[in-house]
Chains A and B, each alone.
Chain A
Amino acid sequence: MWRVVDPLDVFLLRIFILDGLTPDLIALQLFTGLALGAIYVLLALGMSLLFGMLTVVNFAHGAFYMLGAYAGIALLGIGVNFWLCLLFAPLIVGSLGLLAERFLIRRLYGRGIDYPLLLTFGLSYMMVEVIRIVFGTNGLPFETPDALQGASDIMIGYFPTYRLFVIAVAVVVLVALWLFLERTPYGLIIRAGARDPQIVRILGIDVARVWLVVFGIGTGLAGLAGLLAAPLQGASPEMGASILAESFVVTVVGGMGSLVGAVIAGVLVGVVVAMTSLFAPEFAQVAIFALMAIVLLIRPQGFFGRAGLMS
């Protein structure tokens, strides 16, 4: 699990030792939760997009996340700077997603909802192993870019600059995605395709191509999340495994297929993890599953899920 919530966090520990549990410390930890939530939001957005539009539950989502981090390492290795990585790594991962959709997943549409899930699960096995062959089985470090090192003053105290950057990137991506889906003709087609693919097809639009694009966007978002997380936790072939379960929790809490739900639940889960790790660090990893259990008891379809959608 991501160590950003580690109580040994240097900045927070210093305050903790000097002043004890102050409101400032709690506020700072809230920000840590937001940064963690930003990663969750990006992952869950991609997952919800794939489910809402294609009814594909992508079990390779964690693997695409991992690929994002390694794409960053490969690009940095050939001398590309971090800012261009931010653009190219998601593009590379998204392109791989396109290939997976075009040649594998497309064959399974209409054959029951379990098959794409099983296929992507097998695919994630292969992706993890390929990365092990190419980059080795051990994790690799990922340097925080120079411009984003250190801490910035955010009125209530100093906060690691890179985490602020992560939050900012997530917000920019969110706005861009919203504008794309709500304000462009292509976004209109995607939304229509999600609601009734048959009618869209009758209107003369190539739905298969729309789904291809959506799959590319979803996996690209996972790649971006992986790249953003890499400076915080390093990169390892297994980094996608546990984040997959966590992004499932976010998607279930938010409601499957709901983009608004993905955003709100992502932030909420991030904050819950950060807060639990402040007050009861030993329960930080269990807290999000407890949250999911509570949500399932009260509202089985999640915050914004439609009842009966899953049948």
Chain B
Amino acid sequence: MLNADFVARCKRHRVVLAIAFLIIFPLLMPFKAIAVNILIYGLYALGFNMLFGTLGLLSFGHAALFGGGAYACGLVMLRLGLPWYVGVFGAVLAGMLIAAVIGAFAIRTRGIYFAMVTMALAQCLYFLADQATEFTGGENGLRGIELKTIQLPAITLNFVDPLTRYYVIAFFVAIALIVLSRILASPFGAVMEAVRENEARARACGYDVRATRYLAFVLSGGFCGLAGAMQALHLSIVPLETLAITNSGLVVMMALLGGMGTFFGPFVGAGVFLLLENLVSLWTVHWQLFVGAAFVCCVLFFPRGIWGTILLGRAR
């Protein structure tokens, strides 16, 4: 049915296929709002997966990068009064900057320490945002981020319309996909995988393992910051919970559910997670129990995640 040649061709054109999927995706979804959410969290999981899946570095503080980007976008627009695209740009920079600071501490440690230190430092940022009330809105979150229309040279886009909003965000996601694909295909991407597979050998080959990790963490921060900016524009508010531990855990769950280390897995994971959450919460408020159970089963029986298991089945 599917021969190896076809699979290999799919792999080569994964970016094109992924973008094509993103274009038809909202037409398949009953509610556009879920599609937008899946897009944003998929991008967030993509940034996380680059670190955990490709490099094998488990961070439990990605909420700081995502939330930092969301806050940066909102602050640029509200406090500086600059247009939204500057906010998006600022969010990418902020994500990378926060990653650079957290990374400077966390990279000093190795292995399992990394998860704990990133989590603790993200928690620190959460408390800082909570304290700086006059600047960030504290517990109430950052309110009043408004984006109604987008002026392009030829046309004016109505950002309030769900489908238009989806495609605007999808545009940024597509750029991120292209950039990520380039990074993974570059020599640097190969070094990342080498470090994951065998750190000692990579070091013996003369690669700077610590610098690789640091750079990957900073780049991951850029993707997550972008996702955060999209979230801020989408919700027109940045809740304080964006920075909370739960948000860090969420992305870990999504990436693992979808299949870490796969290119499209994070989107599958984000989609399954959010759909599951929506479906289960229709008949019980205790959706966390089922999502938690699904995650535990995934860790126990499908460590490759949904997409990873499908790919494995195809390869056989």
Cβ-based interface call for B216 (8 A): no
Q: Find chain B residues with CB under 8 A from A256 CB.
A: 112-113
Considering only CB atoms and an 8 Å cut-off, how many residues of chain A contact the other chain?
47
Q: Are B245 and A245 in contact (CB under 8 A)?
A: yes
Mark each residue of chain B from 271 to 309: 1 if its CB lies under 8 Å from any CB of chain A, else 0: 000000000000000101101110110111001000000
Q: Are B117 and A121 in contact (CB under 8 A)?
A: no
Q: Are A289 and B123 in contact (CB under 8 A)?
A: yes
User: How would you classify the secondary structure of chain A's contact residues: helix, strand, loop or mixed?
Assistant: helix
The residue among B113, B128, B245, B252 with the most chain A CB atoms within 10 A of its own CB is B113
Cβ-based interface call for B153 (8 A): no
Among residues 220 to 278 in chain A, which have CB atoms less than 8 Å away from a CB atom of chain B?
241-242, 244-245, 248-249, 251-252, 256
Interface segment, A89-97, A122-130, A155-163, A164-172?
A122-130
Q: Are A117 and B127 in contact (CB under 8 A)?
A: no
Q: Are B123 and A245 in contact (CB under 8 A)?
A: yes
Interface segment, A14-22, A196-204, A293-301?
A293-301
Mark each residue of chain B from 245 to 266: 1 if its CB lies under 8 Å from any CB of chain A, else 0: 1100100110010000000000
Q: Find chain B residues with CB under 8 A from A249 CB.
A: 120
Among residues 271 to 311 in chain A, which have CB atoms less than 8 Å away from a CB atom of chain B?
282-283, 285-286, 289-290, 292-293, 296-297, 300-301, 310-311
Q: Which residue of B lies closest to A103 (CB)?
A: B300
Which among B60, B123, B292 is the interface contact of A129 at CB below 8 angstroms?
B292
Cβ-based interface call for B184 (8 A): no
CA distance A111 to B304 in the complex (A): 13
Which among A51, A57, A286, A297 is the interface contact of B127 at CB below 8 angstroms?
A286
Interface segment, B10-18, B28-36, B102-110?
B102-110
Cβ-based interface call for A176 (8 A): no
Q: Are A133 and B121 in contact (CB under 8 A)?
A: no
Cβ-based interface call for B149 (8 A): no
Q: Are B112 and A129 in contact (CB under 8 A)?
A: no
Q: Find chain A residues with CB under 8 A from B109 CB.
A: 252, 296, 300-301, 310
Which among A51, A117, A289, A296 is the interface contact of B58 at CB below 8 angstroms?
A117
Known: A125-B295, A289-B121. A310 touches B111 (CB 8 A): yes
Q: Are A123 and B296 in contact (CB under 8 A)?
A: yes
Q: Find chain A residues with CB under 8 A from B298 CB.
A: 122
CA distance A122 to B288 in the complex (A): 10
Cβ-based interface call for B99 (8 A): no
Known: A248-B116, A310-B110. A293 touches B105 (CB 8 A): yes
CA distance A310 to B117 in the complex (A): 13
Q: Which residue of B lies closest to A107 (CB)?
A: B300
User: How would you classify the secondary structure of chain B's contact residues: helix, strand, loop or mixed?
Assistant: helix
CA distance A290 to B131 in the complex (A): 15
CA distance A242 to B126 in the complex (A): 11
Among residues 95 to 142 in chain A, which have CB atoms less than 8 Å away from a CB atom of chain B?
104, 107-108, 111, 113-115, 117-119, 121-126, 128-130, 132-133
Q: Are B289 and A129 in contact (CB under 8 A)?
A: yes
Q: Find chain A residues with CB under 8 A from B249 CB.
A: 121, 125
A220 to chain B, nearest CB (A): 22
Q: Are B123 and A57 in contact (CB under 8 A)?
A: no
CA distance A117 to B252 in the complex (A): 11
Q: Find chain A residues with CB under 8 A from B130 CB.
A: 285
Q: Find chain A residues with CB under 8 A from B123 CB.
A: 242, 245, 289
Q: Are A122 and B253 in contact (CB under 8 A)?
A: yes
The residue among A51, A111, A249 with the most chain B CB atoms within 10 A of its own CB is A249
CA distance A292 to B109 in the complex (A): 12
B18 to chain A, nearest CB (A): 26
Q: Find chain A residues with CB under 8 A from B286 CB.
A: 129, 132-133
- The 20 listed contacts between A and B (C-beta, < 8 Å) are A57-B112, A57-B116, A111-B303, A115-B299, A118-B256, A121-B252, A122-B292, A123-B296, A241-B246, A245-B120, A248-B117, A249-B120, A282-B131, A286-B124, A286-B128, A289-B127, A292-B117, A292-B121, A297-B108, A310-B112
The chain B residues found within 8 Å of chain A, CB to CB, are 58, 60, 105-106, 108-113, 115-117, 119-121, 123-124, 127-128, 130-131, 199, 245-246, 249, 252-253, 256, 286, 288-289, 291-293, 295-296, 298-300, 303
